[in-house]
A and B are shown apart, each in its own frame.
Chain A
Amino acid sequence: MNKTEEFFVPRQPDQVPDMSADQAARFLRMGLSGAIRPVDELIQQLNRPGGAQWLEERLASELFESLHEARSQLLDGQITVEQLSEMKSKAKSLFASEHNRTARLEGTLGYFLAIAGGLAYHGKLLSTRSRDDLDFAFEDLSYALPEPWNALFHRAIEADES
């Protein structure tokens, strides 16, 4: 018997599946976003009692003030790519610059609403993040959001990029 044979255990295929580069990348990205993603914090907030009310209050905040009527524009699709891009940039700045929890969550909300709107209404991916990663976050968010907001995220998941 070779010296290493007593502890030589090649991977058992039935325990851990073979995987493609794309599948491995999906798992690796989980390590980049950390154990708790910003979107997980937002989901926790939305799942709390009063989560729907909290959402409506955020839509009346400064972040969304450049929109004529944030709620209807985001839900009806009467929003341009430029408006969504601006909203995304402001949301990212808010997330990065503010240390209080509400502002950070508001930044996260604005970011995902803008990206979802870009895909759902214009077929534009307004983010450098992978589509795969975003789709998982959209689906997680859609479970936490009340009607009719969850429909926006379902539409984004199904949207093709133009």
Chain B
Amino acid sequence: MENQENDNKVIFESKIATTQYTWIKRKLDQGQAGRKEVNRYLMGVYYEPLQIYFRGCRLRWLADRCGNPEEIVHGFFDSRLSREKFFDGWRNSNKRLRNWVVGAFWHYLYELRNSLKREAKRYVEADLDLQPTGDDHVHEFDRAVAISIVQEALRRARELWERRGLVKHWQILILRFYEKLSYREIGERLKISEDRARKISQTARANFANALEETVANEVSDRLKVKDEIRLLLESLSS
């Protein structure tokens, strides 16, 4: 078991290259299979945040004509992710992924609006007076993305631990940092010693930090900006 823990300490280290080439970019270079993984990532992280954004933006009236927010976001993914060159614009843009995604989503909403304009002009014209609910939807979008990124990093860490048979790492990370239990309480819950709970917690924390770094690296164009991006994500959660 000790050897297993030592191995686990370097699980993520080997995956984090010093190059600026992020996971998404590497995957996109792998063709169809890689694109599929990128699409999964994008939908996993942005599915809920885009619904939040949509509910607050001034084109939210589209929900009356085109389906609920879930269907709208699903339609966006369906429309854009099947385009082979969808990510090319982002790769050349130096933009944060979330800024670029929300821009693409906005274009999609405008396409929907324009298609309705042709079909049902009188309804659309009346609805164009609708104002956004305020800047809150932008802030709420950022906030939701920050939470979603943390959850994605947790998912990555969990998958890795499951593959390695280290389920306790997952349990202890959640009990310690999500539920805020003491090591004594964790030990009692999992029937292990306090000292063992503390040791596993340190390893799990280190593994998670690396998974988070790798996940956040997907959001920026430059790997060196990962810490700055984490600070921005924290700011979006602070108010």
A residues whose Cβ falls under 8 Å from a Cβ of B: 2-5, 7-11, 15-17, 19, 21-36, 40, 43, 136, 139-140, 143
Contact = CB atoms under 8 A, between A and B. Distances in A.
Interface residues of B, number: 49
A29 B238 CA distance: 12
A143 B40 CA distance: 41
B43 A4 contact: yes
A156 to B, nearest CB: 15
Contacts of A140: 198, 202
Interface string B59-100: 000000000000000100110011000000000000000000
A22 B239 CA distance: 10
B171 interface: no
Nearest to B153: A27
Interface string B128-172: 000000000000000100110011011100100000000000000
Contacts of A27: 150, 153-154, 177, 208, 212
A25 B230 CA distance: 10
Contacts of A29: 234
A24 B183 contact: no
A26 B208 CA distance: 12
B233 interface: yes
Contact of A143 (B39, B178, B195, B237): B195
A28 B77 contact: no
A117 to B, nearest CB: 22
Contacts of A7: 36, 39-40, 43
Contacts of A40: 202, 206
Nearest to A132: B180
B167 to A, nearest CB: 12
Given A21-B143, A21-B147, A139-B183, A31 B213 contact: yes
A67 to B, nearest CB: 30
Given A32-B230, A32-B234, A9 B44 contact: yes
B158 A15 contact: yes
A51 to B, nearest CB: 15
A37 to B, nearest CB: 9
A21 B145 CA distance: 11
A15 B39 contact: no
Contacts of B238: 21, 25
B231 interface: yes
A27 to B, nearest CB: 5
B47 A31 contact: no
B210 interface: yes
A28 B81 contact: no
A4 B74 contact: yes
A22 B146 CA distance: 11
B47 A28 contact: no
Nearest to A5: B78
A147 to B, nearest CB: 16
Contacts of A136: 177
Contacts of A35: 12-13, 205-207, 209-210, 213
A24 B146 contact: yes
A31 B238 CA distance: 16
Contacts of B227: 31-32
A76 to B, nearest CB: 26
Contacts of B40: 7, 9
Contacts of B155: 11, 15-16
Given A16-B158, A21-B143, A28 B178 contact: no
Contact of B212 (A15, A22, A30): A30
